[in-house]
Amino acid sequence: MSEETQNRRLVVEAKHLVKRFGKFTAVDDLTLSVNEGEVFGFLGSNGAGKTTAIRVFCGLLKPTSGMARVLGIDVTDDPEEIKRRIGYMSQRFSLYEELTVLQNLRFFGGVYGLRGKAYKEREKWAIEMTNLQGKEHLQTGDLPGGWKQRLALACAVMHRPKIVFLDEPTSGVDPISRRRFWRLIDEMAGEGITVFVTTHYLDEAEHCDRLALMHAGKLMALGTVSELKEVFSDRAVLEVKCPDIIAALDLMSGQDWVLETSVFGTRMHVVVRNAQEGKRLTLQLLEGSGNAPVEAREIVPSLEDVFIHHIEKEEAAK
């Protein structure tokens, strides 16, 4: 009994989860757990294995080895029971474009067995949540992307799931719609729904309670945003500007006092042990090479820096 209650607290659980397609390992030894009511961010570049992992959790793919449990149910035991209890929204907001807003809601509600009064109630809720009042009879295909996305989310949570998996829900949507969408996610989390969301927008990750960084199928780091940034506690990140950024990158990368370098447009982020010392050495080196004027200042590390740090560490380890 007590184990049962504990399992309910852990909404998603994976232990040494592996998913291979032939020789390609999409998810490599993934271990993580998601608590009830959390907004859990799953971060990584394209092909990092995020979608594959989500599909395993949703019972769409069988794990090659390892264990995955959702709401206490093992994905290999009873994927259909999991499907009854979760919500899922794929990258492509899969709606029927030739149907109207209401027809979509009615279909997806119906598939989850919602009918009669229970359905009507949820329909009203969905229309309010998505702010689609007055648009009920429009064809879904005619709606702008942001509205489709909100409607798809409504369809995915009509049946009040305990957890909803969102696979890159904001790809291809304008920034204002994205922000609006995240407000919806925050609201759902407020109602106690656990949200498991993948994204490759690092700014969105700041909304998440906890984050998992994925790269090439492997979990690189796991924790809250501030926990993740702790890897920089004994180092400093400098932002460097100079006329020839590529030459500067080549030059800096070879220095033993430079820990990491990465280019952000016309600027470069340089990780060093000590901010003052690093700044002095940078100016000296670049100005000495004739790559002037040089500007260097210490910045608060962003998630992107954290991400790059982990990837570089992994690549170096190979």
Partner 1 sequence: MYVLWRVIVKEFLQLRQDKRIIPTVVLGPVVQLILFGYAANLDVATVPLLLVDQDRSAASRELVDNFVSSTYFELMGVEDAVKDVEPWLVAGRADLALVIGAGYGNAVAAGRSPQVQVIVDGSNSTAASLGLGYANGILQAESARLVATRLQAGERSLIEIVPRVWYNPDLKSRWFYVPAVLAMILMIITMVLASMGIVREKEIGTLEQLMVTPIRSWQLIVGKLSPFAVLGLIITFLVTGIAVGWFGVPLRGSLMLLILMTMLLLLNTLGLGLLVSTIANNQQQAMMGSAFVVMLPQIYLSGLIFPIDNMPEVIQYITYAIPLRYYATILRGIFLKGVGIDVLWPEALALAAFGIGFLALASLRFQKRL
Residues at the contact surface with partner 1, assessed by CB under 8 A:
55, 58-62, 79-80, 83-84, 86, 88-92, 94-99, 103, 106-108, 110-113, 115, 139
The answer to whether 151 and 113 have CB atoms below 8 angstroms apart is: no
Peptide bond into 243 cis (omega under 30): no
Q: Least CB distance from residue 51 to partner 1, whole Å? A: 10
**From CA 300, how far away is CA 315, in angstroms rounded?**
24
Strands (E), the chain: 10-21, 24-35, 39-44, 65-70, 73-74, 86-89, 163-167, 194-199, 210-215, 218-223, 236-241, 258-264, 267-272, 295-299
Complex with partner 1: residue 19 or 207, whichever CB lies closer: 19
Q: Is 156 exposed, middle or buried (0-12, 13-18, 19+ CB in 10 A)?
A: buried
H-helix or E-strand containing 253? helix 245-253
Q: Least CB distance from residue 169 to partner 1, whole Å? A: 13
The answer to whether 163 and 195 have CB atoms below 8 angstroms apart is: yes
Complex with partner 1: residue 64 or 103, whichever CB lies closer: 103
HSE-CB of 156 using CA atoms within 13 angstroms:
30
**From CA 107, how far away is CA 114, in angstroms rounded?**
9
Complex with partner 1: residue 81 or 244, whichever CB lies closer: 81
Complex with partner 1: residue 60 or 231, whichever CB lies closer: 60
Enter the DSSP assignment of 100. B
Q: Least CB distance from residue 216 to partner 1, whole Å? A: 21
Q: Least CB distance from residue 259 to partner 1, whole Å? A: 41
Q: How many CB atoms lie within 10 A of CB 94?
A: 15
Q: Least CB distance from residue 98 to partner 1, whole Å? A: 4
**Integer CA distances (angstroms), 96 to 93, 112, 129, in order:** 9, 16, 20
Q: Where are the alpha helices (DSSP H) in 78-144?
A: 79-85, 101-111, 116-130
Q: Least CB distance from residue 248 to partner 1, whole Å? A: 44
Q: Least CB distance from residue 112 to partner 1, whole Å? A: 6
Q: Least CB distance from residue 45 to partner 1, whole Å? A: 21
Complex with partner 1: residue 13 or 167, whichever CB lies closer: 167
**Identity at 80, one-letter amino acid code:** E
Complex with partner 1: residue 98 or 234, whichever CB lies closer: 98
Complex with partner 1: residue 91 or 289, whichever CB lies closer: 91
Complex with partner 1: residue 95 or 296, whichever CB lies closer: 95
Q: How many CB atoms lie within 10 A of CB 254?
A: 9
